[in-house]
Amino acid sequence: MVPTSAITGEGIPDLIGMFVYLSQKFLLKKFEVKEEIAATVLEVKVQDKIGEVIDVILVSGTLKIGDKIVVGGLNGPIKTSIKMLMTPHPMKEMRVKTEFINNEQVTGAVGVKIFGLNLEFALAGSPLYVYHTEEEAEQYSNEILKDFNSVVSKFVNKSNGGIYIQASTLGSLEAILTFMNVNKVDVAAVGLGALTKSDVVKTQTIHENTENCYKENKVILAFDVKILPEAELYAKEKEIKIFKAEIIYHLFDAYTDYKKTCFLERKKEKEKTAIFPCKLKILKDDVYHQSDPIIMGVEILEGILKVGTPICIPGKLVL
């Protein structure tokens, strides 16, 4: 047993050390080295003096400068080639700002920064594939699209007029969609990356084409993403509420409170237009004015008569 504290962080290094010890002792015989490339994009960053790079965990296989790769992107699969492979100095982390070593090739398992063209829209959480022919590139592109569509199709129903969800990565999107599904929150559409004006326009379009659209559905939940100023201004103009948080539970709680508020407002509005039923009898000799405004005497037979109550005289059925 390793005593730990989530408040002070005490014992966490000991716990990690125990994991390493047990892994080396019991899993060494099961360890296999594979030539097949398995890699995942962790993050997209701007590297000083270089430009947009992607942080990648290379689990197995070898990457070389010049390899043609395909990764998931915000606007679809991205095909490019590796221009630079950078790794941190020994005993240094990738997250620490320092000089990196340029490599001709790297072999997994290792964390590596990859520079290539058109990687600024790469999608965190996407797998990375190396291809040699256009047929392979097409196959890998379809697999990337299939992963995204499989996540979306399980939880999103565009016809139900639900909320819009924007997440930073495919993994975080799947996590929040699963959570919303468990809590029975309808989701009409999703997006990845920074929240732009086009995402807000998409939300507006969905609700314009949906019958009985309630105020609590005109909502965007931005999970761990940046909100562009133009998107915020347009949302305010169209009365679309945006909630932003880096923790799913905080996002859900904020939306739940807003939903309750909208429900109470709608309930109060309905109370103002409530109709109290009543049954009247027109007194024969007490009709003083027969056109607008009608003035007549009545006898209340049943119910309550209030100012503003609509009244009518049932017509006779003609056969």
| pLDDT, tens only, 211-240 | 656 788 889 999 988 899 999 999 998 888
Q: Evaluate whether the domain defined by 38-147 bears CATH number 2.40.50.140.
A: no
Of 214, 203, 194, give the one whose Cα is nearest residue 121.
Answer: 194
- Give the CATH architecture of domain 156-272: 3-Layer(aba) Sandwich (3.40)
pLDDT of residue 160: 64
Ordered by start, the domain boundaries in the chain are 1-31, 38-147, 156-272, 275-314
Measured CA to CA, the distance from residue 106 to residue 242 in angstroms comes to: 43
Q: Three-class SS of residue 51? A: strand
Provide the whole-model pTM: 0.60
Measured CA to CA, the distance from residue 301 to residue 278 in angstroms comes to: 8
Query: 251-308: per-residue pLDDT in tens?
Result: 999 999 998 888 888 777 776 666 778 888 888 888 888 877 888 899 998 888 888 7
